[in-house]
Chains A and B, each alone.
Chain A
Amino acid sequence: MIQFEQVSKIYPGGQKALMDVNFHLRKGEMAFLTGHSGAGKSTLLKLITVIERATAGRVSINGHNIANVGPKHVPYLRRNIGMIFQNHHLLMDKSVFDNIALPLVIEGFSHGEIRKRVAGALDMVGLYGKERHLPIMLSGGEQQRVGIARAIVNKPPLLLADEPTGNLDPKLSMDILRLFETFNDSGTSVLIATHDLGLIARMKYRTFTLRQGRMLGGESSSRETMR
């Protein structure tokens, strides 16, 4: 699904965020990406979503080299990637429904279809019946779920999460991870960046570890793949 081949990213100013990174996330796989703050996790996710572009090396998604994706096509690429953020990036003046519907509106779905899909997504994250609420009326965990619902509402083949449990207590974090597992069960590839090692330890997924911009131990640094 995602392949990095000797990818380096040097920010203007000389900060080396990623050095010679190789890794491969298989189609339908769920994996973790760990490392300390500043190890390059966020940069790696930004390269996948073309928020940043690699200085060297090759990043491909589904076999497409994304260096060839022009600015005009970046939006279409992003529609295939569900993104979840630690601070969830919700629109605070819009209802939960409008927030989740945004990707569908952008893609041009009909009103009926949007209603149906948003209801489905809300159901999946356990927020059914809260579509008229404003995000501010929800708890931190619930806001995170709204963000997740928005990421999965147009059924992207790939889900990226940047510290999705960063602000949540262990119980809520576990719930969120279970949620990701259900998406993964239905065929979605999932990559979760987190520094919550305790959380990862309890789960049996591949883990990619970054340290100061380098990927440790190559591809299969952690427990065995696939359940």
Chain B
Amino acid sequence: MSKKPNITQSKLPLSGRIVMFFIRHVQQGMSSMGELWRSPVSSIMTMAVLGVSLSLPAALQVLVKNAENVTQSWNSAAEISLFINKGRSEQSIQSLLSRIKAFREVDTVSYISRDQALEEFQRLSGFGEALSYLDDNPLPAVVTVTPSIKYSSPTGARELLAKLEREPEVNFGRLDIEWLERLQALLKLLEKTVLAIAVLLVLAVVLVIGNTIRLAIMNRRTEIEVMKLVGATEAFIQRPFLYTGIWYGVIGGILAWLIINALVWYLDGALAELMGLYGSQLTIQSLTLTELVKLVLLASFLGWLGSYLSVRQHLRNIEPS
């Protein structure tokens, strides 16, 4: 014996092993799919649990997305009122207007002169008679500025306000964005809540798959022992379980997508009715194709993760004796 044959190496040549590696992956992937069909009731139950668990975070995602969509149109409602110093001539005010109009942050500008303001105040306030006793018009002229879309966010609008207040003709300005800030804070809270719930549900998915795989491992204990006896590596033994986990995830993800679509379809009618009463048109946007792909990818990753954790913990404990 010139050279001892290495007893801890595979006997096949490298190229053959690489080709067989992929073929085996496909085979084991397919056969674990077949394995799921062999016990359809329990498989479908598990997949349904996963589908429902995943549909909740996905539904919340749809909710956030649509809420953002709606509030986007409210953002531009921010308006800045500038109160002009008394005693400024009409001419200087007109020059201020043209200067402001030239700002790239500004979308539209409208001007209410002192007389117009007084007139409007008399009309709306009910103090009409009393005001006529005044010697002088106490009201300042007002310039209303609507920021361009880029500067319509609370911070952007505030920046613009500061800039406008630096104009010498401007006494002070007011920005009514408190409600907008509150709305945005509310949305942020909603988003965070959604994230927290999503994390919990995702965890549930991992645990459900982990437990399902654990049962599968226990069921096939003898088979695993025999495989170890005849020289199967851990990687070889665990692969079908990992594929099973991935299949659970994929099908659970698709199920979640179907549930979401059904939900959106169900709610869309009710929403259209509501919006009809407000004379507005708004439809719910469901998950896009990209989001479906992301959902399924995430779900299959979770499936893999769940089964990997389970396999790591339980496969090692099974040794032939």
Contact = CB atoms under 8 A, between A and B. Distances in A.
Interface of A: 49, 51, 61-64, 69, 72-73, 75-80, 83, 89-91, 102-103, 105-110, 150, 154
Interface residues of B, number: 30
A91 B232 CA distance: 15
Contacts of B16: 108, 110
B246 to A, nearest CB: 21
A108 B232 contact: no
Contact of B230 (A62, A79, A108, A109): A79
Given A91-B223, A109-B20, A51 B231 contact: no
B9 A75 contact: no
Contact of A106 (B4, B225, B231, B321): B231
A161 to B, nearest CB: 13
B10 A107 contact: yes
Contacts of A49: 229
B226 interface: yes
Given A51-B319, A91-B222, A106 B230 contact: yes
Nearest to A66: B7
Contact of A75 (B5, B23, B223, B228): B228
Contacts of B11: 79, 107, 154
Contact of B8 (A69, A91, A110): A69
Contacts of A77: 7-8, 231
9 contacts: A51-B321, A62-B5, A64-B7, A69-B7, A73-B8, A79-B11, A91-B226, A108-B20, A109-B12
Contacts of A103: 230-231
Contacts of A63: 4
B231 A76 contact: yes
Nearest to A49: B229
B77 to A, nearest CB: 66
A84 to B, nearest CB: 11
Which residue of B12, B21, B23, B226 has the most chain A CB atoms within 10 A of its CB atom?
B226
Nearest to A27: B1
Contacts of A107: 10-12, 231
Contacts of B17: 108
Interface string B217-254: 00000110111111111101000000000000000000
Interface of B: 4-5, 7-12, 16-17, 20-21, 23-24, 222-223, 225-234, 236, 319-321
Nearest to A150: B230
B230 A102 contact: yes
Contacts of A51: 229, 319-321
A72 B320 CA distance: 15
Contacts of A79: 10-11, 230-231
The 8 closest A-B pairs by CB, nearest first: A108-B20, A79-B231, A73-B8, A78-B231, A106-B232, A76-B8, A75-B233, A103-B230
Contacts of B222: 89, 91
Given A62-B4, A78-B231, A79-B10, 12 more contacts: A51-B321, A72-B233, A75-B231, A75-B232, A76-B9, A76-B231, A89-B229, A90-B226, A106-B236, A107-B11, A108-B10, A110-B23
Given A51-B319, A51-B321, A75-B232, A106 B227 contact: yes
A102 B223 CA distance: 11
Contacts of A102: 226-227, 230
B230 A78 contact: yes
